[in-house]
């Protein structure tokens, strides 16, 4: 594994604002206003999830940009009001990607995130699981997604996350490839892992990859409500991801990997664990 391979993987967490990280990750006494600055001393990318619930103010985004070094990269989620067709947790099938305010919200979101300049990375279009009463046939959804992606401004990078495992098929990859958009690979309950997907089709659909280690929120929250240490052993799955990511890193383009607290209980420690496993792959190939 060459140095170029190692540098092509960008590691981060989903959010940086957990108060439970003060002590195990942030030094004792660190105030929330300083979380991002300290975070950027350890990782070079972060996935912003607050944008899923509301478009941030321009001053907030400019504040983010001012707290990190030039090489830092932000990923951010598209607003739920677009991907759900409204702010309700339950998707509205008639309005998903096509509500009267979809394009107005899209433009406002993109205009705001553009304030990050060169520090802006991929923008995540995260869809929920859609039961059959929402989309009785997959083609209805993908036709709508095709149109939405066609209309997106080309100066941004996009990634699409699907949570219907039976939609993770070659036709989905081909559609996203036609729009130069990444197919997100998620370690999320029933979703197939990267090494399973690559047996069926090539998951690389653009010049970067986007990986999310999410876990089972309901299961882990039955054990803990604090996120200060790893409490779920995911080593077997992390070993598989390390091997998969090593293979993907032989190809061109960056790989963005984000870990959620719900994966093991403490995302920063899991990021470091994964990074060590990938480094071990490098050593074993020398």
| pLDDT of 87 | 87
pLDDT tens-digit map of 2-33: 344 444 899 999 999 999 999 999 999 999 99
From the number of C-beta atoms within 10 Å of its C-beta (0-12, 13-18, 19+), residue 70 rates as: exposed
3-state SS of the chain?
Answer: CCHHHHHCEEEEEECCCCHHHECCCECCCCCHHHHHHHHCCCCCEEEECHHHCCCCCHHHHHHHHHCCCCCCEEEEECCHHHHCCCCCCCCCCCCCCCCCCHHHHHHHHHHHHHHHHHHEEEEEEECCCCCCCCCCCHHHHHHHHHHHHHHCCCCCCEEEECCCHHHCCHHHHHHHHHCCCEECEEECCCCCCHHHHCCCCCCCCCCCEEEEECCCHHHHHCCCCCCCCCCCCCHHHHHHHHHHHHHHCCCCCCEEEEECHHHHCCHHHHHHHHHHHHHHHHHHCC
Whether residue 79 is predicted with pLDDT greater than 60 in this model: the reply is yes
| pLDDT of 5 | 44
**What is the C-alpha to C-alpha distance for residues 264 and 220, in angstroms, rounded to an integer?**
8
Domain boundaries, the chain: 3-284
Q: What is the mean pLDDT of residues 89-108?
A: 93
Its pTM stands at 0.95
pLDDT tens-digit map of 234-260: 999 999 999 999 999 999 899 999 999
Report the share of the chain in percent with pLDDT over 70: 96
Structural tokens at position 223: 């054990």
Whether residue 276 is predicted with pLDDT greater than 90 in this model: the reply is yes
pLDDT tens-digit map of 149-186: 999 999 999 999 999 999 999 999 999 999 999 999 99
What CATH superfamily is the domain 3-284?
Answer: Protein of unknown function UPF0759 (3.20.20.410)
Whether residue 37 is predicted with pLDDT greater than 90 in this model: the reply is yes
**What is the C-alpha to C-alpha distance for residues 232 and 230, in angstroms, rounded to an integer?**
6
| Phi, psi (degrees; rounded to nearest 5) at 166 | -80, 0
């Amino acid at each position: 594994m060459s140095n170029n391979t190692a540098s092509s993987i960008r590691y981060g967490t989903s959010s940086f604002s957990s108060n439970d990280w003060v002590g195990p990750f942030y030094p004792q006494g660190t105030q929330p206003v300083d979380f991002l600055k300290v975070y950027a001393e350890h990782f070079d990318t972060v996935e912003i999830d607050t944008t899923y619930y509301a478009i941030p103010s321009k001053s907030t985004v400019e504040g983010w940009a001012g707290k990190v070094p030039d090489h830092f990269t932000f990923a951010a989620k598209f607003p739920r009001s677009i991907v759900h067709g409204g702010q309700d947790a339950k998707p509205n099938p008639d309005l998903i990607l096509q509500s009267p305010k979809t394009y107005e919200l899209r433009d406002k979101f993109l205009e705001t995130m553009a304030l990050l300049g060169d520090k802006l990375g991929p923008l995540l279009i995260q869809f929920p699981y859609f039961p059959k009463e929402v989309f009785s046939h997959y083609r209805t959804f993908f036709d709508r997604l095709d149109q939405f992606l066609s209309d997106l401004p080309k100066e941004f990078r996009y990634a699409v996350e699907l949570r219907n495992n039976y939609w993770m098929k070659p036709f989905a990859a081909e559609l996203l490839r036609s729009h130069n958009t990444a197919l997100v690979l998620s370690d999320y309950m029933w979703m197939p892992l990267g090494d399973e997907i690559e047996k069926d089709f090539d998951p690389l659909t653009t010049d970067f990859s986007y990986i999310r280690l999410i876990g089972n929120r309901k299961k882990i929250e039955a054990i803990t409500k604090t996120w200060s240490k790893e409490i779920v052993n995911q080593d077997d799955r992390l070993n598989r991801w390390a091997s998969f990511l090593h293979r993907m890193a032989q190809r061109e383009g960056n790989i963005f990997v984000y870990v959620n607290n719900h994966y093991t209980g403490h995302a920063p420690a899991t990021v470091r664990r994964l990074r060590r496993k990938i480094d071990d792959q490098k050593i074993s190939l020398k």
